[in-house]
Amino acid sequence: MSKINIIKKGITHLDVDCIVNAANSSLSFGGGVCGAIFQAAGIDELSKACGKIGHCNTGDAVITPSFRITNAKYIIHAVGPVYSYSNKQQCRDLLYSAYKRALEVMLENDCLSIAFPLISSGIYGYPIEEAWRVALKACNSFISQHSDIDITIYFAVIDDERYDIGKKIINEC
């Protein structure tokens, strides 16, 4: 039976098939979760692999090996939107798409477990509560559409605010 778990742990420390990088569209080394993943995987190796791919559109996802992150096979780089109060619906749609595409890429690569950060909720400015609602809606919808497959989804967060809000919202779903 598929399930969604919210845990308070660094994403690079989870034993899963895939971890998700909250990537920028140029797939380059960044700050926050992106920086932590690049450092754990090996900046040079991951930068070279991402450089070969070159670009990923907002709302899409691509995959690379996990390199030095030995507890995961792959890194899926999902690009969420920079939040805009003037274009909330487009932001919602793009964020939803980033989660959906990451899950599709996971299945396309014969994987059944995945760990997400809360995409776009850091420097991209997406309001945390709304980011959780979009993330959980996308994941629950994907699980429903693939009810014949046992998928395990983790959300790895390291701060109390994201964890507490996520736990509250997941219990409402």
Q: Rounded mean pLDDT of the chain?
A: 97
Cβ atoms of residues 133 and 169 within 8 Å? yes
Closest-CA residue to 152 (of 117, 125, 113) = 113
The tokens for 34 are 């992106």
**Rounded distance, CA 10 to CA 136, Å?**
19
**Mean pLDDT of all residues in 26-33:** 95
- pLDDT one-digit tens code per residue, 42-80: 999 999 999 999 999 999 999 999 999 999 999 999 999
Q: Using CB atoms within 10 A of its CB, is residue 86 exposed (0-12), middle (13-18) or buried (19+)?
A: exposed
**Mean pLDDT of all residues in 22-37:** 96
pLDDT value of residue 66: 98
User: What residue spans define the domains of the chain?
Assistant: 3-172
**Rounded distance, CA 86 to CA 108, Å?**
35
**pLDDT higher than 70, residue 173:** no
**Rounded distance, CA 116 to CA 126, Å?**
15
Instruction: Quote the CATH superfamily of domain 3-172.
Output: Leucine Aminopeptidase, subunit E, domain 1 (3.40.220.10)
Residue 142 pLDDT grade (very low, low, confident, very high; cuts 50, 70, 90): very high
Residue type, 61: A
Secondary element (H or E) of residue 147: none
For the chain, give the percent of residues with pLDDT over 70: 99
Q: What are phi and psi of 83, to 5 degrees?
A: -70, 140
For the chain, give the percent of residues with pLDDT over 90: 97
